[in-house]
Amino acid sequence: MFIVGIETSCDDTAASIINEKKEVMASILSSQTSFHAKYGGIVPEIASRKHLELISHVCQEALQTSCLRWTDIDLICVTKGPGLVGSLLVGVEYAKALSLALNTPIKGVHHIEGHLLSPSLTQTITYPYMGLIVSGGHTEFVHVPKAGIYQIVGSTVDDACGESLDKFGKSIGIPYPAGPIIEQYAARGEDTKFSFPLPSVRHRPYDMSFSGLKTAVLHVLQKLSPNELENEIWSLCASYQRALFYHITTTAQKILASYPSTMVLLSGGVSANQTLFSMLQLSIDIPVLKPGKGLSTDNAAMIAWAGYLRYMAEGSDSLNFEVQSSLELESYAVE
């Protein structure tokens, strides 16, 4: 069975073809980062226009790379939310047109389900597991007792982890997306040089808060001259990253004490960060799995995989499903 995945929820136009044996035959991504960089973040209007320009090229390239024809495709999976509505619409309408023209079943996919399942695309997983999604828009712990049952047990109450890194980066002059650059800078700095208070959410031990760190950063920056900032940028990044990740690892410890799990599946853009992965591995005594190369940040292979599993359980969608900017992650199995 050949499955197409299409992902346009944010600023990357992506298409992938996988088969039911989890072989990724093509995973094509056209990044719009350079178009948005000068604005310091994603401009939704620009994102949807760029998706329109790129979508058919990216899909054709996926097809060519896998040496297939459209008529070989058995299932079309597309991100239906959450995300930017104008961006989601481009992918969903393109997928619907393909489905109609080829008479091929279609399945709308929850972006976060794609991230959550991305480590299982390249590795064998066991249940129950704890999913930890750390992306630009989400920071969530999801308890998965068996395939298709999702219970969100903790999440951020304000900024997402990636969003917090990007905002911190902006405040010290690092372009969007700042996460990967902060990781590189941090490797050259001292992570205890600056102290950033550990946030906590009152009476909600499984939830996280990252917005308080912004004020702490402001206080530190006010005391530094431009020269000092330049000299200290490595240690600032290392200290900020450590504070953020420490908050996540201590929350993981609390959650795992109440939700026994066989493993943690780390996913989302920030899961590409080696320091977070190492800190998690050191702080918990069960295996931590992260996505394979190129599967941490937004990609369409994870959408094809999540869509395929849901299609096998639920069947296909009718052509009138809609895109949704916010969307709850629903289970498809019963306990």
Work out how close the CB of 100 gets to ligand KG4 at its nearest, in angstroms, rounded to a whole number.
28
List the single partner that 248 binds among ligand KG4, Zn ion, none, CB under 5 to 8 Å by kind: none
Read off the DSSP letter of residue 156. Answer: B
Using DSSP's 3-state secondary structure scheme, residue 83 falls into coil
- What are the CA-CA distances from residue 45 to residues 35, 40, 42, 59, 118 (Å)? 11, 15, 9, 22, 29
* Contacting Zn ion within 179-198 (CB under 5 A): none
List the single partner that 77 binds among Zn ion, ligand KG4, none, CB under 5 to 8 Å by kind: none
Judged by CB under 5 A, which stretch of 73-81, 151-159, 232-240, 298-306 contacts Zn ion?
298-306
Number of residues that bind ligand KG4 (CB under 6 A): 19
Beta partners for 5?
Answer: 16, 77
Contact code string over 296-315 relative to ligand KG4, x by CB under 6 A: -xx-----------------
Work out how close the CB of 123 gets to Zn ion at its nearest, in angstroms, rounded to a whole number.
19
Considering only 66, 87, 104, 135, the residue that binds Zn ion (CB under 5 A) is 135
Decide: is 298 part of the binding site for Zn ion (CB under 5 A): yes
264: left (phi over 0), alpha (psi -120 to 50) or beta: beta
Contact code string over 259-298 relative to ligand KG4, x by CB under 6 A: ---------xxx-xx-----------------------xx
Considering only 136, 154, 189, 291, the residue that binds ligand KG4 (CB under 6 A) is 136
Judged by CB under 5 A, which stretch of 218-226, 250-258, 294-302, 323-331 contacts Zn ion?
294-302
Largest CA distance in the chain: 63
The Cα 27–Cα 270 span in angstroms is: 20
Number of residues that bind Zn ion (CB under 5 A): 2
> Residues of 14-51 as b/e, b for ≥16 C-beta within 10 angstroms?
bbbbbeeeeebbbbbbbbbeeebeeeeebbeeebbbbb
- Tell me the torsion sign for CA atoms 128, 297, 198, 246: positive
Note whether 10 and 136 are within 8 A (CB): yes
The Cα 156–Cα 205 span in angstroms is: 11
Considering only 42, 78, 106, 178, the residue that binds ligand KG4 (CB under 6 A) is 178
Work out how close the CB of 102 gets to ligand KG4 at its nearest, in angstroms, rounded to a whole number.
28
Residues contributing to the site for ligand KG4 (CB under 6 A):
10, 135-137, 162, 165-166, 177-180, 183, 268-270, 272-273, 297-298
